Amino acid sequence: MKLSLKYLILSAALLSMIFTLFSSISSGYRISQQTLIENTLETNRVYAQKLANTTDVFFNMTLQTLELSSKDISSYMKGDHYSKTKLLQEADRLKKQTNTFNSVVIVAADGEILATSPQTLDVVGKLLDSTGGQEALKGKRPLISKPYLSITGRLIIFISHPIVDEDGEYLGLVGGSLYLKEANILNMILGEHFYNDGSYVYVVDEDGRIIYHQMPNRINELVSHNPVVRKLMNKESGVARVLNTQGVDMLAGYAYVPSVGWGIVSQRPAAASLAPTSDMMNGMIVKSIPYLLISLILLSYISKLIAQPLQKLAHFTESSTENNQENSMQKVSTWYYEAIQLKKALTYSLGFFHDRVDYFTYQSKTDPLTKLANRRTLDEQTQKWSEDGVAFSVILLDVDHFKRVNDTYGHSKGDEVLIFLAQKMKEVSREKDICCRYGGEEFVLLLHDRSGAEAYQVAEKLRMLVESTVSPCGDTITISAGIAAYPASATHLAHLFELADQYLYEAKNTGRNKSVFKQP
């Protein structure tokens, strides 16, 4: 069987196109997958760290509240000034005013319960014999206990502060309980994080036991064999892709809470995070089919052009023994011209598929919502500038009370607000500056060859521009920003961003809608 040169050329070209298409799509698929994984891990890490910081602040403030209350209580517990009524009033005040505890107790040094709130507990006059209470009485120091079962069968945490008089004499303690399997302040701090895509947040204590979970039946379950939980038990924070205790492949961010030794985990199933990649690849394949068909038709025509001169040459060669065909051969166009045409066709086809690779590369470095640069571009650019010795400044900013925007107007309006902020960032930036979406509602503005003081002015300009413009949700939104300069503030990139985050945190804690920068 003799093979036609036309079909050999067509087959070779078609195989080349298919291979190029497969390589482009598989490369784009891997890049997209890695980008989604990295973005999901970073988002969960930032979110877990924010919750950890909030929880840490809450417990420190709670201990401060109990400390202040203990000073007032000490004046009601001695001699002529002893007042059972005022002790009950103080217990009720702590319970109702702060809305922190499920129950409050005031206990004498010998362990006798002097007052409670709610008073329906009916334990006044009895001895405080719970695990947390006994530990607090013996230690005579501020305490946040480990979770334990109370005499009522509840799983609780006991937070207490000693009561001492002005002479330093130990009089007892004032403390409050959190019922872990009932509505408590942890629900308010951690909020509702259980979405249809399987994302959720949970909290473990220092022994690896779940103390907060969206599903109450999981509370008090020991999960210390989970790799992420083991890292938290070692006081580590970070990200990990891990099989959880239910055997589900998860992308987790986790953060350690120093004041209580707890760990907070924010995680999402890997399958849910990677689902958009498969959809995008399927769409690209479908869109590529018409171009592939057009290319096939073009290649068929070109292969015919290539084959025809060679067929004529072969015919003339076969008859050359009978007739002089030299003049006829001279009239046949050489194969070089036809080869050039084939090269142009292949160049056209390869150019199309390279455009697809460029598209995937662009997608991997761009935030799909705001069209700003993403975290990958941010890391690459700061690394390049630092290696080239370029001075630059970092403005780390986020939207104040963004969760309230989502809760009030919906996530669609929330997305419009993020796009609105991205546009304002572009308005205050120069051509060499880079606007990035850092994750969630956090953004970064990299200012090329600008000092920290100049960056502060840019941050203030952006803040006032955002505040003075009505946002897509119809309300005025505000932003807070932290500024750090390289190499003036820090010579290591990680430290630089830590400083910017620290200043952003300070801006948040001191009233929001402000920019914070400190000269080194």
Residues annotated as part of the active site: 441
CA distance 226 to 221: 12
CA distance 229 to 205: 9
Phi, psi of 160, deg, nearest 5: -145, 160
Of 34, 23, 65, 38, the residue nearest 375 (C-alpha)? 38
Specify the 3-state DSSP secondary structure of 356. helix
CA distance 42 to 275: 18
Which helix (H) or strand (E) segment holds residue 172: the answer is: strand 170-179
Tokens of 437: 């979406």
Q: What does each C-alpha distance from 200 to 81, 191, 251, 268 come to in angstroms? A: 51, 10, 11, 7
Do residues 116 and 126 touch, judged by C-beta distance below 8 A? no
Strand partners, 445: 395, 435
Q: Could you check whether the bond before residue 290 is cis, i.e. omega within 30 degrees of 0?
A: no
Torsion of CA 504, 508, 513, 516, to 10 degrees: -40
Q: What does each C-alpha distance from 176 to 62, 101, 104, 145 come to in angstroms? A: 10, 5, 4, 11
Residues in the chain: 520
Of 184, 121, 191, the residue nearest 147 (C-alpha)? 184
Which string of DSSP letters, residue by residue, matches 260-275?
TTEEEEEEEEHHHHHH
CA distance 141 to 58: 19
Specify the 3-state DSSP secondary structure of 114. strand
Of 280, 288, 478, the residue nearest 368 (C-alpha)? 280
- The strand ranges marked E within 375-492 are 392-399, 434-439, 442-448, 479-486
Specify the 3-state DSSP secondary structure of 113. strand
Give the number of other CB atoms < 10 A from CB of residue 50. 18
